[in-house]
Amino acid sequence: MDIANQLTLALEQAFGPSAIIICLAAIGLNVHFGYTGLLNFGQAGFMAVAGYGVASIVSTWGFSFWLGLLVGLALTVVLALLLGIPTLRLRADYLAIVTIAAAEIIRFVVGASSLRGYFGGQDGLQQYTGSFFALNPYSSQMGGLGLSWSKADFWIMTVGWGLVVLFSLMIFLLMRSPWGRVLKGIREDEDAVRSLGKNVYAYKMQSLVIGGVIGGFAGFVSGLYQSVQPTNFATDITFFAYTVLLLGGAARVLGPLAGAVIFWFLISFLDNFFSAATSGDNPLIPTALMSHQQASLMRFVFLGVALMLLMIYRPQGIFGDRRELAIDGR
Amino acid sequence: MRVRVTAVSALFLGVLIAILVGGAAQAGGVRAASGNPADLTEAAAPKCPREKIASKDDVIQIVGQLSDTRTDPCTPVSGVKISVEDAENGEVIGEATTGEDGTFVVPLPGAAIDNLGRTVTVKIDEGSLPKGSVLTDPSDVENTKRIVIEGNISFTFPIGPDPSPPTPVWQRVIQLLVTGLIFSSMLALGALGLSMIFGTTGLTNFAHGELVTFGALVAFAFDAGVGLPVLVAGVLAVVVSGAFGYAQDAALWRPLRRRGTGLIAMMIVTIGLSIFLRSLYQYFAGSDNHNYSQYATVEPFSVGPVDVTPKELLVTLLAVVVLVAVTQALQRTRMGKATRAVADNPALASASGINVERVISVVWIGGTALAGLSGFLLGMTQGFDFQLGFKILLLIFAAVILGGLGTIWGAIVGSVVVGVFIELSTLVIPSELKFAGALAVLIVVMLFRPQGMLGRAERVG
């Protein structure tokens, strides 16, 4: 087994477009959960409306890609308002269930074969990203230090990591402003903030919109990288983003970034490792114990256990501060 | 102010749903009701043998096959007129009639290379279809393709039954009501378990769906692995589920409660547990849909206008008996009263001499056993795979919240509402969107009555 090669592949994944998607989704969740204490379990829904917004504007309606981006962002704002109005006054678990339900509604609707004319059914929409890749300045494979990415991926990475840096900077500035301090205050003690005369509901709504829009960008990148399909916006994506956030450390600006890189490194290393360990004529792990198909599930087994252990023993993650994290949000 | 915001948002949601429903109904037409309660798995399409049509060198042929999907395997449909037109100028290029094997061939005039890049429309003369049959997808009447490869360009036209004579609406309503109630009874078992655990511990358990799957899988292991009769396997599955509930509480949740881990943190732990268990299930059971070795296919019998299978009747009866037994136990026995006391106020219950940890332990056993029974019964009626419980988890949540989180009767009433609504909604929306409809109702109810139908009006925020 070629461990060095596997490490290289895992590193390419850790910095590749998949990590960017989950990183952006986690930055959005950081605003919701890390700073405001809102349990949004429907981040995949925000990603889906943005991704499908741009894809159907281009493929179905024939408008420009850039207009599609604007429409996608507008849709995430509308979704945040729609979700926030009924639930932001309620307890945390209500918000969790309503957001997860909304995300599933969106996934059912865009995947419906009766609406195939608009959203492409289970196949989704492809080939609408021409305007984006027309701007690609790279003409060949890019990379260094033994790592390499295709020119399309590297262009996505350039823009994607640019967005990550931009949003991280924005979060950093926002959260040390008076506005950010109110958000953290809401997370710690909502009633105390209310008694100071702040409109808690409005602050929560603003937080939901900002985090949702950042999640929308995750949907854009996802659409650029893999085409929009209902399966790319399943509930699991939200849970992976939570794992990334909790791994890196919630309520930390760089938490999602560190979390995403480590998460994708471990996930793809485990995948490559078990895949290699079960293939060939004389596999390292006997076929009776684990078949090649079963090997692809091992990463999710580890992921589930890791999420549980992380939450039990180190809820602040790798870089978080335990005092910062009022994990019993509302 | 608050009233206005609520009213505006309600209007917003209403418009959204209206657009969705309108669009869906327009695009898909009103779908026929499915007889299967909440069919989670698509019915297997009948096998259509594809006739091989030899391609010719240097000629592009438009080929296709008409098959009647009402029989399994399909029967070819002959004598149907087909015409091929140029999509740009509408000029008729060729015509053909389907042969005995249901196929047609229209060679395009000219060399293959000249025809590349052309766009052709294949039209089917609906009047020439056999009586009583129509195209499964009405939009197949005209089918346009761009020619990009040399060789045969293939079209298929599945043909299905003519929807007329339609079943009268009242008959469909009754049939849907019955299928809805059958599904409700199984949903209620899962919902009651979730509600009991939430009531006593405050835990929002996202792994509850996996407890449902657990019952189905354990019964399958006893059935297919050990070779026991299915009903015995089902009883054993419920017992093992209860033991699993006890073990889970003792090994995981009780230590976490002792440590004082917050409820939100525990909720995220349940998500980790859900991913872990689901992957393990897939590891051991694969991704295929399974059925138990007995009672897999049972002929339905008709009671008046309604078709039910004896299996469904038995399953519903069993579920109702268990539900009544559990609710009566909660109302009348010492343990049941203690459970309700703990749900009301754990500190006060503890002060009055109730062993709270023991009550919670019993609730975990009971809740998981109910979930396991629900999984086994769902597996009996419609088969199962590793995602059985995960797919209905949100419906369970919807039922529990609609009825009132933590209330016993609420879980049952909520399940009936959700189960019946899911089936009846297929009268107006495509059946593939029926789960989405139920979840939308959940969101709307949150707007007006967040405590649920039977919940006490208290601050939940």
Q: Which domains does chain A have, with CATH numbers?
A: 3-116+147-324 (1.10.3470)
Q: Which residue of A has its CA nearest to B443?
A: A98
Interface contact A328-B264, CB threshold 8 A: yes
C-alpha to C-alpha distance for A8 and A256, rounded to whole angstroms: 22
Q: Is B80 in contact with B101 (CB distance < 8 Å)? A: no
Question: What pLDDT, on the 0 to 100 scale, is given for residue B71?
Answer: 62
- Neighbouring residues of A5: CB distance < 8 A, sequence distance ≥ 6: none
B61-161 CATH choice from 2.60.40.1120, 3.40.47.10, 2.60.120.260, 2.60.40.10: 2.60.40.10
- Residue B401 has its nearest CB partner, among A97, A294, A297, at A97
Domain locations in chain B? 61-161, 169-448
Q: Is B48 in contact with B73 (CB distance < 8 Å)? A: yes
**Lookup result for tokens 């897939």:** B282
- Residue B268 has its nearest CB partner, among A98, A242, A293, at A242
C-alpha to C-alpha distance for A70 and A213, rounded to whole angstroms: 11
C-alpha to C-alpha distance for B203 and A200, rounded to whole angstroms: 26
B-chain residues near A325 (CB < 8 A): none
Interface contact A311-B265, CB threshold 8 A: yes
Beta bridge partners of residue B67, listed in sequence order: B76, B158
Beta bridge partners of residue B119, listed in sequence order: B146
Interface contact B442-A98, CB threshold 8 A: yes
Which run of H or E residues covers position B270?
Answer: helix B263-285
C-alpha to C-alpha distance for B10 and B197, rounded to whole angstroms: 32
Interface of B with A in 76-95 (CB under 8 A): none
The two structure tokens encoding residue B377: 């019964």
A-chain residues near B27 (CB < 8 A): 114-118
- Neighbouring residues of B250: CB distance < 8 A, sequence distance ≥ 6: B361
C-alpha to C-alpha distance for B138 and B144, rounded to whole angstroms: 14
DSSP code at position A252: -
DSSP code at position B451: T
Helices of type H across chain A: 3-15, 17-29, 43-59, 65-87, 92-111, 116-119, 130-134, 151-175, 178-188, 190-195, 200-226, 235-248, 255-277, 292-295, 298-313
**Where is average pLDDT lowest: A1-5, A56-60, A132-136, A147-151?**
A1-5
Interface of B with A in 424-453 (CB under 8 A): 430, 432-433, 435-436, 439-440, 442-443, 446-447, 450
Residue B400: closest CA among B367, B432, B360: B367
- Residue A308 has its nearest CB partner, among B9, B20, B269, at B269
- Residue A112 has its nearest CB partner, among B6, B280, B433, at B433
The two structure tokens encoding residue A194: 């209310």
Domain B169-448, classified CATH 1.10.3470, yes or no: yes
**Lookup result for tokens 């461990």:** A3
Interface of B with A in 353-412 (CB under 8 A): 394, 397-398, 401
Beta bridge partners of residue B121, listed in sequence order: B85, B144
State the ipTM, two decimals.
0.89
A-chain residues near B449 (CB < 8 A): none
Beta strands B61-68 and B152-161 are parallel
Burial A182-191 (b: 16+ CB within 10 A, else e): bbbbbbeebe
Interface contact B272-A304, CB threshold 8 A: yes
Interface contact B268-A307, CB threshold 8 A: yes
Interface contact A312-B269, CB threshold 8 A: yes
The two structure tokens encoding residue B448: 């007006």
B-chain residues near A236 (CB < 8 A): 275
Q: Is B356 in contact with B349 (CB distance < 8 Å)? A: yes
Of the two residues B131 and A57, the one the predictor is more confident about is A57
Residue B415: closest CA among B20, B37, B14: B37
Q: Which residue of B has its CA nearest to A37?
A: B264
C-alpha to C-alpha distance for B384 and B376, rounded to whole angstroms: 9
Interface contact A304-B28, CB threshold 8 A: no
Interface check B15 vs A, CB under 8 A:
no
Beta bridge partners of residue B68, listed in sequence order: B75, B159
Query: C-alpha B186: how far from its chain's center?
Result: 13
Q: Which of B446, B447, B449 to mutate to test the interface with A (most CBs of A within 10 A)?
A: B446
Residue A56 to chain B, least CA–CA distance (Å): 15
Note down pLDDT in tens along chain B; length 461 residues: 444 444 444 444 444 444 444 434 333 333 333 334 444 433 344 556 666 666 666 777 777 777 776 665 667 777 777 878 777 777 777 778 777 777 788 777 777 667 777 777 777 777 777 766 667 666 666 777 767 666 677 776 666 665 555 677 888 888 889 889 999 999 999 999 999 998 888 888 999 999 999 999 999 999 888 888 888 999 999 999 999 999 999 999 999 988 888 888 888 899 999 999 999 999 888 888 888 887 766 677 777 777 778 888 888 999 999 999 999 998 899 999 999 888 888 889 999 999 999 999 999 999 999 999 999 999 988 888 898 999 899 999 999 888 887 778 888 999 999 999 999 988 888 888 888 888 888 888 877 777 777 766 554 43
Interface contact B435-A104, CB threshold 8 A: yes
Interface check B282 vs A, CB under 8 A:
yes
Query: C-alpha B234: how far from its chain's center?
Result: 22
Q: Is B49 in contact with B391 (CB distance < 8 Å)? A: no
